[in-house]
Amino acid sequence: MRDTVQAEVIMTFLVSEELSFRIPVELDYDSSDPYAVKFTFHLPGDAPVTWAFARELLLDGLSQPSGEGDVHIAPASAQHLSDVFIRLQVGGEGALFRAGAAPLVAFLDRTDRIAPLGEERSVADFDHELAAALDSILAGNPEGQNAG
């Protein structure tokens, strides 16, 4: 059984010190991939862009700077939980967003009800998914597409 959690939050896209604007961001969690969360950014004039990263990274980033590689999350203030910075990096290009911590905490709380942190393996049916993928590959259908 697949359980999902969706939410929409408004984040500030910090283009520069002088320029920023608010954008809607869809948050998604699917128990079929219990370790990940997806953020879909709706930037004006562009197609939506989706980033997937570890749910635990989002949780850790609420209280301390976290992340390596392309995704970094850090609290805006060390004194209290108010806002969070999310930096996304692709090569030399990066984007910085500021989000309220409260809606992110509420989203994480809802995901935790489906798959408590540390118990994700018990939620996902990895053995079934692996068997289905292997069956598909052995049948000569590596993408899991129906032949027809």
Band the pLDDT of 147: cuts 50, 70, 90: very low
Six token digits for residue 38: 């997806």
Is the pLDDT at 121 greater than 80, yes or no? no
Mean pLDDT of 48-65: 95
Q: Report the run of H or E that residue 90 belongs to, with start and end.
A: strand 83-90
Question: End-to-end distance of the chain based on CA atoms, in angstroms?
Answer: 28
The mean pLDDT value of the chain amounts to: 87
pLDDT in tens, 67-76: 988 999 999 9
The overall pTM is greater than 0.75: yes
- What is the CB neighbour count within 10 angstroms for residue 128? 9
SS3 content of the chain, % helix, strand, coil (to 5): 25, 40, 35
Contact assessment for residue 39 and residue 27, using Cβ atoms and an 8 Å cutoff: yes
Left if phi > 0, otherwise alpha if psi is -120 to 50, otherwise beta: which for 78? alpha
Task: Supply the pLDDT for residue 116.
Answer: 85
Q: In the chain, where are the structural domains located?
A: 4-139
What are residue 140's phi and psi, to 5 degrees?
Answer: 80, 25
What are residue 100's phi and psi, to 5 degrees?
Answer: -70, 140
CATH H-level, domain 4-139: superfamily: Sporulation-specific cell division protein SsgB (2.30.31.20)
Question: For 1-48, where are the E strands, in sequence order?
Answer: 4-14, 20-30, 36-41
Mean pLDDT of 139-146: 62
Task: Supply the pLDDT for residue 148.
Answer: 47
Pairing of strands 71-75, 36-41: unpaired
Is the pLDDT at 89 greater than 80, yes or no? yes
Is the pLDDT at 23 greater than 80, yes or no? yes
Name beta bridge partners: 98: 12, 85
Task: Supply the pLDDT for residue 97.
Answer: 97
